[in-house]
Amino acid sequence: MENIEIARQLDEVADLLEIQEANPFRVRAYRNAVRTIRELAAPLEKMVTEEADLTALPGIGKEMARHIGELVTAGAMGVLAELREAVPATLVQIMRVPGVGPKSARKLWKELGIEGVEELKEAAEQGRVAGLKGFGEKKQAQILAGIEQWRRHTARYRIDEAAEFVKPLLAHMRSLAQAERMEVAGSYRRRKETVGDIDILVLSSEPEPVMEHFLAFPAVADVLAAGDTRGSVILRSGLQVDLRIVPEESYGAALVYFTGSKEHNIRLRQRALDRGLSISEYGVFELPRDASTTAEAGAPASGEAREDGRWKAGREEADVYEAVDLPYILPELREDRGEIEAAEKGTLPELVALEDLRGDLQMHSTWSDGKNSVEEMLQGCVDRGYEYFAITDHSKALAMIDGLDREALERQLEEIEEVAARHPEIRILRSMEVDILADGALDLEDEMLEALDLVVISIHSMFNLPAGRQTERVLRALQHREVDVFAHPTARLINRRDPVSFDLEEVLSCAAEHRVAVELNANPHRLDLKDTHLTLAKRLGVKVVISTDAHRVVDLDLMSYGVEQARRAWLEPEDVLNTLSRDDFLAYIGLG
Ligand code: DGT
Ligand code: CA
Ligand code: CA
Ligand code: ZN
């Protein structure tokens, strides 16, 4: 069991305790443990197996250590199971609505019988919430606005959040022999930055036990539908999962269908019709000669595809593409953004892959808000096979999180020099994440900027400037001759903070002219620039660097999230600067 899952379960305990009005000290003990575990680099599971003393960790007492031990060894915690019995699972979601804390959630539940967000909305619209003691009209209006906001921001799950819930479900399904093949399809497979729900496809000749096993997954909170071959559930996290079970001859066709996107599928179906064929989730079929030419006509709507004499293909995805005279198209490209045309012409891109990356160009150390030392970060980069990396601690404008002033930077550079001398196997770039100040000036003296190997700049303040002024601010910063990389350019946080507004085309053109690269920040909370913006950057001749912005060694593994978005943007290795070898990269930034 991964640390993140352990933290999530302890957090749920804290939520449920709060709803039950438990002793605040007890609640705080859980929250403290969650914070510690989220920041912990070592896997707890291993610590437990090796009988390490968990109470040596900050915020973890005897009792908590026992809960964690139980969770790791038995796969579940008694305390959570009991709380879940006592409190409806959906109540935790109510607490996430802005303006509704645990106390309100409890009151709404106990006095109005409200257990979910949908019911809360209904009650508020009918004016029943205002009548509760301590609520009133104003709070009721606040709650309605809060629900709107909650919907906008949490209706879709970040890809990493979804992964956290999907992985245990897949492990659960894989333990079943009757599930012969399995794949997560939908937007999750296309690696979209957020997903609405999860679509799972299973190949099996025995659907019944597969469906039973799916419904028995411990995190299922609610069953929406459960037929012979299709099921749909809501997990405790609120995430919906749709399951489809298909026979062998339809697996490839169903995988194409449920991977989507819808727009991509429509194009494929049209191509099929042009060839006297029809594509459905069951397979590729010969159209009867007199069939009408609408996309829906002609395909049998049953699961017994093979028994239909007109079945032509459907076992593998590639067979489906071949049937319409196309090479296989990777899931990341299936958005109808030109991939069908490129496939037809044989000009599909050779997408950048994780193995192509030779370095990571944004990370923090204990000199600012990172959790690991320069040398520990170095070891992490060596372990990942990199040839170079940059330490980019914050500049002094971020005093709150220990941004470095000139003097601190000088001391940090001394330490880097010492560490570098011990480690010739990798090149440390002396760098800094320098703040772009309100007027577009940089938060470091020119003399120091010149002394650095790589200057990374970014916005951490004044997010709400009107577009005109924001554009001017950024253009001024990009024109500074020492600047190499513009990091997380739009400063968005997925589901939490909107991107800043500026004229993207003007900014990218300026970056191209001044040979500044733009960052694809790989942290799944950011993914900034996003896929479509990266495609524009490529078109305008701007190089991209993919960096993790790691604040601890394990964050270096976030690189794969960045690579996925780069692939969705059609980027190839030559578009990404940190695929260059050490010598070529150093030459590129003028350190040849
Ligand atoms: P999401 O869940 O909103 O992040 O996005 P998707 O792409 O996973 O969409 P979802 O879950 O509604 O459906 C999964 C796939 O099933 C979708 O990508 C394509 C296919 N699909 C769903 N509805 C339709 C439809 O009405 N027509 C066609 N051609 N395909 C559909
Ligand atoms: Ca989906
Ligand atoms: Ca779905
Ligand atoms: Zn930053």
For ligand 1, atom 22, the nearest C-alpha belongs to: 262
* Least confident span in 46-60, 150-164, 359-373: 150-164
pLDDT one-digit tens code per residue, 68-80: 999 999 888 999 9
Ligand 1 proximity of 349 Cβ (cutoff 6 Å): no
- Angle, vertex CA 561, rays to CA 319 and CA 544, nearest 5: 100
CATH number for 157-246 (one of 3.30.460.10, 3.10.310.10, 3.10.20.30, 3.40.430.10): it is: 3.30.460.10
Q: How far is the CA of 172 from the centre of ligand 2 (A)?
A: 20
User: Ligand 1 atom closest to Cα of 257?
Assistant: 20
pLDDT one-digit tens code per residue, 318-363: 999 999 999 999 999 999 999 999 999 999 999 999 999 999 999 9
Taking each helix axis from N to C end, the angle separating 117-125 and 136-154, rounded to the nearest 10 degrees, works out to 140
Whether the predicted pLDDT of 408 surpasses 60: yes
Name the strand (E) or helix (H) holding 258: helix 251-259
If one residue of 159, 256, 265 were mutated to test the ligand 1 pocket, choosing by the most ligand atoms within 8 A of its CB, it would be 265
Question: pLDDT class for 297, splitting at 50, 70, 90?
Answer: very low
Measured distance CA(21)–CA(16) in Å, rounded: 9
Ligand 1 proximity of 296 Cβ (cutoff 6 Å): no
Q: Which ligand is nearest to the CA of 460?
A: 4
Q: Considering the chain, what percentage of its residues have pLDDT values greater than 70?
A: 96
CATH code of the domain occupying 250-345: 3.30.210.10
Q: Is the peptide bond before 205 cis (omega within 30 degrees of 0)?
A: no
Given this model, what pLDDT does residue 158 score?
94
Question: pLDDT class for 308, splitting at 50, 70, 90?
Answer: low
User: Ligand 1 atom closest to Cα of 194?
Assistant: 4
If one residue of 243, 256, 262, 281 were mutated to test the ligand 1 pocket, choosing by the most ligand atoms within 8 A of its CB, it would be 262
Q: Considering the chain, what percentage of its residues have pLDDT values greater than 90?
A: 80
Residues 95-129 as b/e (b if ≥16 CB within 10 A, e otherwise) read bebebbebebbbbbbeebebbbbebbbebbeeebb
CATH number for 3-152 (one of 2.40.160.10, 3.90.1150.10, 1.10.3720.10, 1.10.150.110): it is: 1.10.150.110
Torsion sign, CA atoms 500, 505, 509, 515: positive
Measured distance CA(382)–CA(144) in Å, rounded: 51
Mean pLDDT taken over the chain: 93
Beta strands in 467-560 (DSSP E): 485-486, 517-521, 544-547
Ligand 1 proximity of 261 Cβ (cutoff 6 Å): yes
- Angle, vertex CA 454, rays to CA 451 and CA 459, nearest 5: 110
Measured distance CA(35)–CA(43) in Å, rounded: 15
Side-chain half-sphere CA neighbours of 465 within 13 A? 21
pLDDT one-digit tens code per residue, 66-125: 999 999 998 889 999 899 888 887 788 788 888 888 889 999 999 999 988 888 999 999
The domain locations on the chain are 3-152, 157-246, 250-345, 354-588
CATH number for 354-588 (one of 3.90.1150.10, 3.20.20.140, 2.30.110.10, 3.40.718.10): it is: 3.20.20.140
User: Ligand 1 atom closest to Cα of 261?
Assistant: 18
Phi, psi of 429, rounded to the nearest 5 degrees: -90, 130
Given this model, what pLDDT does residue 153 score?
62
If one residue of 166, 199, 317, 332 were mutated to test the ligand 1 pocket, choosing by the most ligand atoms within 8 A of its CB, it would be 199
For ligand 1, atom 5, the nearest C-alpha belongs to: 187
Q: How far is the CA of 308 from the centre of ligand 1 (A)?
A: 26
Measured distance CA(213)–CA(208) in Å, rounded: 9
Beta strands in 270-380 (DSSP E): 277-280, 283-286, 311-313, 359-360
Cβ(454)–Cβ(482) below 8 Å: no
On the question of a common fold for 3-152 and 354-588, the answer reads no
